[in-house]
Homo-oligomer: A and B are copies of this chain.
Amino acid sequence: MRAAVIHASRDVRVEEVPDPVIRRPTDAVVRVLLSCICGTDLWAYRGMASFQPGQRTGHEFVGVVEDVGADVMGYAAGDLVVVPFVWSDGICGYCAEGLTTSCEQGGFWGTRGSDGGQGEAVRVPYADGTLVRLPGEAASDRRLLTALLTLSDVLGTGHHGALGAGVGPGTTVAVVGDGAVGLCGVLAAKRLGAERIIALGRHPSRTAIATAFGATDIVPERGETAVEAVRELTRGRGVPAVIEAVGTEQSMWTALQIARDGGSIGCVGVPHGSDTGLDLSDVFERNIALRGGVAPVRTYIPQLLPDVLDGVIDPSPVFDLSIGLEGIPGGYQAMDERTALKVLISY
């Protein structure tokens, strides 16, 4: 089959790889219908995260089960499924608690010996724990299937950020970052009942989506000017809830500065650098809570799925470029150059 492979920084190729087969009785093989490129894929692409040359790429996909191992009880060939960005066994203590990203048998797509989501098919470990079934008719509804694809990562990650920020009915929340996760944070905050949603982002095409997703205010400034703007919008006080959806030193600083004393920052931007510019003394003096992390989206899919199926929320606008499998290298380039927000890949 064909799949995307990263060989070096800025060298992602689509090439022939072995067809996936059932290796363990708990495996399934899923033929991919849609996958996509994630902001976190860019870190390896830019040489800013380590990778094994030759490893597969991509970790978000929906598809159809093609084969299952002898121990897989819940799925059969022909099932339409969405697959989280971390596989998990579904039965360990962490999975039972809903923290599927800490699963004792869990792992990330593209790591040694595993397939990536940017390919024609994928061997899925612990299929019963990992996969989530979708109604079969969604396969023929392109818009809906695209929306469902976000359950793999960005929608659940935005939801995790909103939960970490403590968003609930009536909350005023700010979202730092206008990437797909930040936009899904806006959507998730709206869904959870936030009353005022301040989106920080400087790309008009992206902040337009934020507005469509429920943002009530847009702050296009950066740095101290952005902090002043948010404080002005909140009578000098800052916001009690912040979703941090970037993970850089600058964005963490901004999140902290716009947070109201006693507020919570829901951190879902993967931190780059060990300290990420975080002034713990300031965090301490102002009683700011830092919550969040790698989102256990497997746990969130059943919670979010009904609203996506019913059209209560439609995250599909986060995709603004659609390509085929052979276009993946160009898709990376487009996201790297920020000419695309998030790239959809059809098979």
Distance of A88 from chain B, by nearest CB (Å): 12
Is residue A25 contacting chain B, with contact meaning CB distance below 8 A?
Answer: no
Interfacial residues, chain A to chain B (CB-CB below 8 A): 93-94, 97, 99, 101-102, 164, 237, 261-262, 267, 270-271, 273-276, 278-281, 283-294, 296
Q: Which residues of B are found within 8 Å of A276, using beta-carbon distances?
A: 280
The answer to whether A289 and B287 have CB atoms under 8 Å apart is no
Cα-based distance from A279 to B272 in the complex (angstroms): 11
CB-defined contacts of A267 to chain B, threshold 8 Å: 284
Closest A-B pairs by Cβ, 4 of them: A287-B293, A102-B261, A275-B275, A289-B291
**In the docked arrangement, what's the CA distance between A286 and B100, Å?**
11
**Assembled-state Cα–Cα distance A127/B82 (Å):** 60
Which B-chain residue is minimally distant from A262 (CB atoms)?
Answer: B99
One complex includes copies of this chain to the number of 2
Q: How far is the CA of A237 from the CA of B278 in the complex (A)?
A: 27
Q: Which of B279, B286, B290 is close to A290, meaning CB atoms less than 8 Å apart?
A: B290
Cβ B292 vs Cβ A262 within 8 A: no
Residues of chain B within 8 A of A262, CB atoms compared: 94, 97, 99, 102
Question: CA A298 – CA B270 in complex, angstroms?
Answer: 37
Min distance, Cβ A123 to any Cβ of chain B, angstroms: 24
Select one of B261, B275, B294 contacting A99, CB under 8 A. B261
How far is it, in angstroms, between the C-alpha of A109 and the C-alpha of B281 when the chains are bound? 19
B residues in contact with A279, CB < 8 Å:
274
Bound together, the chains give a CA A97 to CA B276 distance in angstroms of: 30
Given A99-B261, A102-B261, is A290 in contact with B283 using a C-beta cutoff of 8 Å?
A: yes
User: Across the interface, do A289 and B286 meet the contact criterion of CB distance under 8 Å?
Assistant: no
Pick the contact of A102: B101, B281, B286, B296 (CB < 8 A): B286
A274 touches B281 (CB 8 A): yes
* A296 CB contacts on chain B under 8 angstroms: 287
Chain B residues contacting A291 (CB-CB under 8 Å) are 289-291
Q: Kindly provide the distance from the CB of A64 to the nearest chain B CB, expressed in whole angstroms.
A: 31
Given A99-B287, A271-B284, A275-B280, 15 other A-B residues pairs in contact with their CB atoms under 8 A: A102-B262, A164-B289, A275-B275, A275-B278, A276-B280, A278-B280, A283-B290, A283-B293, A284-B292, A285-B293, A287-B294, A289-B290, A289-B292, A290-B290, A291-B291
User: Which residue from B94, B271, B288, B289 sits with its C-beta under 8 Å from A281?
Assistant: B271
Contacts of A293 in B (CB 8 A): 283-288
Least CB separation from A274: chain B residue: B279
Closest to A275 in B: B275
Q: How far is the CB of A101 from chain B (nearest CB, A)?
A: 7
Contacting pair A292 B287 (CB below 8 A): yes
Please report the C-alpha to C-alpha distance between residue A288 and residue B271 in the assembled complex, in whole angstroms.
14
Complex Cα distance, B287 from A290, in Å, reads: 10
